[in-house]
Amino acid sequence: MILSDREIHNYLKNGRLVLVGPNMKFRFNPAKQVQPASIDLRLDNRIVRFDRIGKSFDIRDLSNISNFVDVEYVEEKKPISLLPNSIAFGQIYEQMAIPNDLCGRIEGRSRFARLGISIHCTGDFINPGFVGAMPLQIVNHNSFEVIIYPYISICQLMLFKLTEEPLVPYSERSSLPYNRYQGEKEAGTSIMHLDEAINDELKIKSIFDEKIQILIDNYLNNMNKDIEDMKLRGVEPNQYIIQIFKDIEELIVRDKYVAQQAGIQGAKSVKDAQINLQQNITCNKNSDNHQLIAELKKLRQEMRKRDDHADYDIEIGRVAEAENAAKLNDKKGVLEALKKVGKFTLTVSKEIGTELITKLLVESVRL
């Protein structure tokens, strides 16, 4: 989900998302820079270019990359030359701190695309929890020189909401020797030479590697334990909505009510019941009926052990009807029988832990 301007302003206001213009003359201005679903960001005055490179460049030698680049700090309103078919490396002027529940993506602006210039054509993703300076690659695809200037609006930041916060925050991963971009004030050069595929030293685990591995192992072990518990209860890990009540409108009482049952009433009752059932009753598509039958049998047997009362015998009969309907995979019949039971059935169901039956009773009958 991409954040809208409303959500962006909210994140900025409560300090969870931070964007700062280091130069007091060029402060970050939310009123001007926040767009309907993005944030306009500006070009810093620090420009880096490759220089003095021979016919080949070995990525294993990136530890000495400073020997191959020129760094230039351009004053306000002074030109930055983009030579034909060349690339310049800049950075976003605004320093940023992204919260752990958001991630970001940098996109160039149409005004540059229409001039044949690509902004941040690779490496445009921003991790949740990132803090620091974000680099830019500026490519002039033209056969002629193009002049740009520092502090102009050059790109836009889109923010995406995560389903949940990461297990291992980016701040933790930034401690790894091959991930050193966190907290930079000046966007650094590539650290490709630290990839373990070409750097044997990194094949030895560090304390940070071990810490992350423990976090992940613990998470996966707990998840596997939950899956095993579900299987023991007869429920498979993949959950689906029970499709028992497709024609629920025909089964829920509308204008005719049973005195002993405070059922869902009114014209909106069917719709409400259907929504509640769809939201709250989940089970494996293949095993739900088996669980239903098992719970109905358990409930019926337990009800027989309780106080001997004529009304209770009637309810036991209704549960037996529901059990027989379930064995025939007659889902309408199950609901038709259960909607005729009373509070005794619900009380026993809760006490013995027949969860599926309890949900059916609460959501469809509202005892």
**CA dihedral for 187, 191, 192, 196, sign (positive or negative):** negative
What pLDDT was estimated at residue 202?
Answer: 59
- How deeply is 242 buried, as exposed, middle or buried, from its count of CB atoms within 10 A (0-12, 13-18, 19+)? buried
Q: Which domains does the chain have, with CATH numbers?
A: 5-166 (2.70.40.10), 240-365 (no CATH)
- Scored b (16 or more CB within 10 A) or e, 271-306 reads eebbebbeeebebbeebbbebbbbbbbbbbebbeee
pLDDT at 281 over 70: no
* Average pLDDT, rounded, for the chain: 78
> Hey, what long-range contacts does 232-237 have (CB within 8 A, 24 or more apart)?
233/291, 234/287, 234/290, 234/291, 234/294, 235/283, 235/284, 235/287, 235/291, 236/284, 236/286, 236/287
- Which pLDDT tens digit goes with each residue over 184-223? 777 777 766 667 677 666 555 666 667 677 777 877 877 7
Angle at CA 132, nearest 5°, toward 110 and 52?
A: 75
The encoded tokens of residue 142 equal: 């033209």
Say what the pTM is. Answer: 0.57
pLDDT, one tens digit per residue, over 11-67 is 999 999 999 999 989 999 999 999 999 999 999 999 999 876 655 677 777 667 777
Residue range 341-364, pLDDT digits in tens: 888 888 888 889 888 888 888 765
Integer Cα distance of 357 and 296 in angstroms: 7
CB 32 within 8 A of CB 41: no
In the predicted model, is pLDDT for residue 3 greater than 50?
yes
pLDDT (tens digit per residue) in 75-93: 999 999 999 999 999 999 9
Residues 265-293 have a mean pLDDT of 50
Kindly indicate the confidence band of residue 175, based on its pLDDT and cuts at 50, 70 and 90. Answer: low
pLDDT band, very low/low/confident/very high, at 308 (cuts 50, 70, 90): low
Per-residue pLDDT, 91: 94
Higher pLDDT: 366 or 9? It is 9
Per-residue pLDDT reduced to its tens digit, 223-277:
776 666 666 666 555 543 343 344 333 443 333 333 334 344 444 444 444 444 4
- Torsion of Cα atoms, 22 then 27 then 32 then 34, to 10°: 40
Give the model confidence (pLDDT) of 94-106 as tens digits: 999 999 999 999 9
Q: What is the pLDDT of residues 112-163, one digit of tens each?
A: 999 999 998 678 899 999 998 899 999 999 999 999 999 999 999 999 999 8
